[in-house]
């Protein structure tokens, strides 16, 4: 299996090259030359497999055994998920016969991103160790400088996946003061020698733009050998496809058998969506052959994706009429002033109760646009699809918006449905599911998904069963959850929500580098300073810095 850029730079890379490169030199994202189909007997032969066993089967479809042998891949997978707190890795919780929650927060940092980043960290280390083992005496070792941006959960998950890894330095940019206290503490209290937290005065989109610009700087990239941990890295999308298959089989076990002569239930995945990586994994699973209803995109007030499905315009700020029924909802100020992560304040990003989704532009949406363009043009001209995507993304950068052809929008609507959820709806959903039977405490991102599922359900066939992806533990967004449930006398946050692992976290020693402006040159200075100290034998630096 080879991989190429959505913008068509002409190169085809191996899986190893794709993982280590991250972002293509032309700014595009890597996708496989073809999407493999599932084995004919997959529903029988995979039905009883564990998450780890399913990972081996799914990943093997995309990774040649000449690159990673089956035994090596099995060991990588087993090592990646041994620290998860639940034996299923991603357990499926039944709330009713029509609604399930897929809990993806049982990894070391209590967020769905652990599923991909534990594997990605091990892949980075595996490839570097193998490359360095082949070097002759005296040859310099290959190193990787991993750079990523986070609105909260990616940073801690990446850090826990890469801490203390040989020949790897990791720099995580987060918007200063705009992530939740728990999220910030999870990142900055990791003081391993190779971990560097960079607090940038700006928004998440500023941080993400800096990361993309660093990768586009060929000289800087070549000097420091940059690696990507954001969901622009193909390995993250691939790892996340697995829990769609796992939940499919687990749902089959829990659902009642359909009456004779009736169709089996159709599963619909409802995904809280910011950067579009999590739901894109579901799209790949569907393209491989996983049956299901249309995938459901659930956004908060930062609704660039919901607006695209309504109008066909992918635009940073709305230029047409507001979504029907949402006028005045999802305002910048969150309900009760209880936002944990504050991405608002610049560039049109609204501050919400679900801050990990407070994103203006969804990076992974480019991958979907490529497939839509390719299919709309007859699935015969890869270069034409690359050119179309490159043109669309360029217009978004220069004009802030692009409108796709009707044929592309119709294909998008065939495969997806989208809903926008306000803060008021989010808080009410947290309350209503807490008071339901069985009682369920949802974090605000999961609540966005649950609220969207309610709105979408009447559009579905009667046999449809919804699975909402639960992307984070509610303790990671304590203010939003506590505020929503403050009127419930039976609720006790410390007793009902707070994990033992979080107790005392806010008081631990921290290490962070402050960057006083969203300036790529200031971030370059940080990376170069750390690299210089390493070359001089001083380690990678300690303590708090400011540039």
148 within 8 A of 124, measured Cβ to Cβ = no
Catalytic residue among 2, 82, 93, 113: 113
Beta pairing class for 99-103 and 144-149: unpaired
DSSP three-state, residue 152: coil
Q: Is 537 helix (H, G, I), strand (E, B) or coil?
A: coil
Q: Give me the residues paired with residue 298 across strands.
A: 272, 419
| Structure-token pair, residue 138 | 């005296």
Beta bridge partners of 101: 93, 468
Are residues 367 and 31 in contact, defined by beta-carbon separation less than 8 angstroms? yes
Q: Judge contact between 112 and 269, C-beta under 8 A.
A: no
Identify whether 93 is a catalytic site residue.
no
In order of 68, 185, 197, 522, 534, the CA distances from 188 in angstroms are: 34, 5, 6, 19, 20
The tokens of 329 are what?
Answer: 């909802």
Instruction: Report the alpha-carbon distance of residue 420 to residue 303 in Å, rounded.
Output: 6
Give CA–CA dist 113/118, Å, rounded: 8
- Continuous segment of H or E residues that includes residue 401: strand 401-403
CB neighbour burial string for 438-466, b if at least 16 within 10 angstroms, e if fewer? eebbbbbbbbbbbbbbbbbbeebeeebbb
Q: Quick check: 385 and 373 in contact, CB under 8 A?
A: yes
Place of tokens 């910011």: 274
At which residue do the structure tokens 């620290």 appear?
Answer: 83
Q: Whole-angstrom Cα distance, residue 266 to residue 441?
A: 26
β-pairing verdict for 513-515 and 545-546: parallel
* Catalytic machinery residues: 113
């Amino acid at each position: 299996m080879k991989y190429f850029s959505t913008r068509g730079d002409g190169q085809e890379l191996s899986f190893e090259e794709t993982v280590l490169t991250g972002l293509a030199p032309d700014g595009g994202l890597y996708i496989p030359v073809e999407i493999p189909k599932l084995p004919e007997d997959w529903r029988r032969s995979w039905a009883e497999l564990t998450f780890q066993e399913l990972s081996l089967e799914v990943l093997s479809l995309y990774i040649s055994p000449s690159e990673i042998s089956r035994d090596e891949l099995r060991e990588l997978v087993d090592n990646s998920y041994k620290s998860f707190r639940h034996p299923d890795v991603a357990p499926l919780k039944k709330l009713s016969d029509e609604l399930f929650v897929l809990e993806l927060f049982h990894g070391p940092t209590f967020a769905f991103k652990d599923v991909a980043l534990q594997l990605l960290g091990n892949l980075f280390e595996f490839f570097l160790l193998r490359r360095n083992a082949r070097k002759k005496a005296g040859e310099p070792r290959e190193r990787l400088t991993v750079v990523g941006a986070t609105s909260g959960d990616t940073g801690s998950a990446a850090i826990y996946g890469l801490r203390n890894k040989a020949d790897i330095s990791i720099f995580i940019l987060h918007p200063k003061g705009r992530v939740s206290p728990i999220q910030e503490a999870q990142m900055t209290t990791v003081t391993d020698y190779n971990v560097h937290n960079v607090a940038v005065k700006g928004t998440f989109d500023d941080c993400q733009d800096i990361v993309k610009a660093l990768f586009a700087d060929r000289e800087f990239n070549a000097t420091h050998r940059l690696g990507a941990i954001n969901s622009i890295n193909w390995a993250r999308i691939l790892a996340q496809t697995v829990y769609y298959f796992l939940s499919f089989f687990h749902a089959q076990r829990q659902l009642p058998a359909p009456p004779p002569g009736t169709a089996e239930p159709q599963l619909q995945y409802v995904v809280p969506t910011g950067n579009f990586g999590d739901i894109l994994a579901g799209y790949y699973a569907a393209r491989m052959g996983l049956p299901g209803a249309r995938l459901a995109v659930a956004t908060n007030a930062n609704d660039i994706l919901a607006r695209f499905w309504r109008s066909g315009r992918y635009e940073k700020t709305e230029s047409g009429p507001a979504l029907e029924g949402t006028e005045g909802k999802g305002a910048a100020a969150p309900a009760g002033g209880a936002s944990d992560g504050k991405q608002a304040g610049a560039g049109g990003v609204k501050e919400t109760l679900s801050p990990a989704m407070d994103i203006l532009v969804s990076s992974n949406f480019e991958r979907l646009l490529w497939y839509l363009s390719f299919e709309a043009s007859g699935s015969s001209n890869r270069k034409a699809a690359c050119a179309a995507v490159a043109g669309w993304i360029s217009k978004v950068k220069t004009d802030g918006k692009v409108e796709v052809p009707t044929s592309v929008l119709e294909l998008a609507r065939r495969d997806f449905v989208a809903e926008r959820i306000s803060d008021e709806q989010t808080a009410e959903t947290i309350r209503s599911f807490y008071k339901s039977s069985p009682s369920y405490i949802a974090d605000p991102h999961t609540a966005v998904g649950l609220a969207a599922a309610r709105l979408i359900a009447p559009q579905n066939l009667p046999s449809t069963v919804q699975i909402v992806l639960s992307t984070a533990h509610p303790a990671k967004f304590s203010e939003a959850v506590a505020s929503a449930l403050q009127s419930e006398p039976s609720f006790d946050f410390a007793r009902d929500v707070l994990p033992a692992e979080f107790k005392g976290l806010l008081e631990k020693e921290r290490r962070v580098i402050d960057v006083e402006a969203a300036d790529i040159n200031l971030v370059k200075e940080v990376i170069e300073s750390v690299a210089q100290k390493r070359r001089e034998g001083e380690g990678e630096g300690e303590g708090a810095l400011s540039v």
